[in-house]
């Protein structure tokens, strides 16, 4: 915990705000899957200096990471309205393609090979584990109920495995299903453990003989629990540093609201902090999504600790992101 004296700097009466306490929620930021993917991308740039290198989608869900990759000569091919296989059409033959941390469908790997691309897989090991569990149960004749987010690349890769994989986004999706005899249930690794619990209960009511395998990765779980543990600590404001595309950052913000934290802001970086957010505030907490660079989170914390509305916000140095 850190304390910062706020008086005239905010332009408020000294009786309005005396002390702002800053809580650095831990753990926060990069998980092992993100570190692994970035490491692979950097190594690929070194190994193929004379090749065009593309990432098929966002390597990790943070735009600053994408910008930093550009400095290494790595281009990102992404379109939320297109599948991974369609995106491959935009990559010239002979180029290097990096599959993202969110996993890749077998069909995409096959198509990349057909197109003469050098494929590098940066899939997170936890995502691969879930894929393998799903494949195993498909081979044994199960219908797979996969709890995930529509259009998320991790869910896309899993659902592409078979027509017997059914994406579950809400309770209505469960009601709309047929009366399957053999059902296996699992989930996207970055989902909220609280949302998963509710959907598991609903599925169990419809399919009492279903087999469940909760696959929220440990990094996601402990970050979510750390935010849940803020309940009852009289937090006035929580800043979640994370990209709008980051599902785990969004989930952290949702969990915070469920803990009755009055004001929760998902911010890309320090520039998204408005002075009014701090008016009348005594206790501020800061966390970050698993794909958020430590550099960006540290900058936010430093800004809050040394808040002065007369000073400009610090510039973001892209070279320090990776």
* Given the residues 143, 154, 156, 215, the one annotated as active site: 154
Q: Taken in order 294, 297, 300, 301, is the CA torsion positive or negative? A: negative
Within 10 angstroms of residue 214's Cβ, the number of other Cβ atoms is 14
C-alpha span between 34 and 7 (Å, rounded): 40
C-alpha span between 159 and 276 (Å, rounded): 44
CA atoms within 13 A on the CB side of 138: 19
Given the DSSP bridges, would you call strands 74-77 and 237-241 parallel, antiparallel or unpaired? unpaired
Known active-site residue 310: no
Structure tokens at 6: 């706020």
Determine phi and psi for 239, rounding to 5 degrees.
Answer: -100, 125
C-alpha span between 250 and 253 (Å, rounded): 5
Question: Cis bond leading into 27, ω under 30°?
Answer: yes
Residues forming the active site: 154
């Amino acid at each position: 915990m850190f304390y910062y004296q706020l008086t005239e700097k905010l332009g408020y009466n000294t009786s309005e705000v005396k002390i702002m306490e800053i809580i650095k929620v831990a753990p926060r930021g990069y998980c092992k899957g993100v570190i692994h993917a970035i490491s692979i991308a950097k190594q690929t740039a070194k190994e193929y200096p004379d090749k065009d290198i593309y990432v098929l989608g966002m390597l990790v869900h943070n735009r600053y990471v994408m910008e930093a990759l550009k400095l290494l000569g790595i281009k990102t091919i992404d379109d939320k309205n297109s599948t991974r296989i369609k995106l491959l059409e935009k990559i010239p033959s002979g180029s290097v393609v990096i599959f993202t941390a969110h996993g890749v469908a077998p069909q995409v790997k096959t198509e990349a090979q057909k197109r003469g691309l050098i494929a590098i897989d940066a899939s997170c090991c936890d995502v691969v584990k879930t894929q393998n569990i799903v494949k195993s149960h498909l081979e044994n004749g199960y219908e797979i109920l996969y709890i995930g987010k529509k259009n998320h690349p991790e869910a896309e890769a899993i659902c592409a495995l078979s027509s017997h994989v059914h994406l579950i986004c809400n309770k209505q999706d469960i009601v709309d299903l047929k009366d399957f005899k053999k059902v296996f249930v699992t989930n996207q690794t970055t989902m909220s453990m609280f949302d998963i619990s509710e959907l598991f209960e609903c599925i169990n009511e419809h399919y009492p003989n279903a087999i469940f395998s909760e696959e929220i990765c440990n990094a996601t779980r402990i970050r979510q629990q750390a935010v849940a543990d803020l309940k009852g600590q009289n937090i006035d404001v929580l800043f979640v540093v994370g990209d709008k595309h980051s599902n785990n950052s969004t989930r952290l913000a949702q969990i915070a609201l469920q803990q009755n934290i009055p004001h929760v802001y998902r911010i890309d970086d320090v520039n998204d902090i408005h002075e009014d957010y701090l008016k009348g505030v005594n206790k501020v907490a800061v966390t970050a999504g698993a794909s958020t660079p430590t550099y960006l989170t540290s900058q936010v914390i430093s800004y809050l600790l040394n808040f002065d509305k007369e000073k400009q916000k610090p510039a973001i140095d892209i070279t320090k992101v990776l």
